[in-house]
């Protein structure tokens, strides 16, 4: 498993604490420093079964500067959203956990983290 985190995020720290308590094997990606490429974001979205607007933190200051809330949420706008997530990784919802079975979850709850652990 790999977990994308922002160490300043309490949900990320809670997810790491749970993974550690359960003895899970995982690698940490500090995605604000090791910024995902557009292709990596596309891959994670496919694994999540979500669209880019589903994992965008629209309350962030940069989201407001970009006017993200007014962007179209349709297939034709997908690349614009993905580019914004790659250029401004602070917009990416966190933590994201990719499991060995090819799936992924947004691990904001204990239940979601446990789901990822069950998938390997």
Give me the active site residues, please: 9
Give the ranges where the chain is alpha helix by DSSP (H). Answer: 10-21, 38-48, 61-66, 78-87, 110-119
- The first and second tokens of residue 29, run together, are 């990606």
Separate counts of helices (H) and strands (E) for the chain:
5, 4
């Amino acid at each position: 498993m790999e977990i994308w985190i922002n160490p300043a995020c309490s949900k990320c720290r809670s997810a790491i604490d749970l993974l550690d308590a359960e003895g899970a094997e995982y690698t940490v990606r500090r995605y604000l420093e090791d910024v995902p490429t557009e292709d990596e974001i596309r891959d994670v979205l496919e694994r999540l079964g979500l669209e880019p607007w589903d994992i965008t933190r629209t309350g962030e200051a940069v989201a407001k500067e970009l006017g993200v809330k007014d962007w179209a949420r349709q297939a034709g706008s997908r690349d614009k959203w993905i580019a914004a997530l790659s250029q401004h990784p602070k917009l990416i919802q966190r933590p994201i956990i990719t499991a060995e079975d090819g799936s992924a979850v947004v691990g904001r709850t204990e239940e979601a983290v446990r789901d990822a652990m069950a998938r390997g």
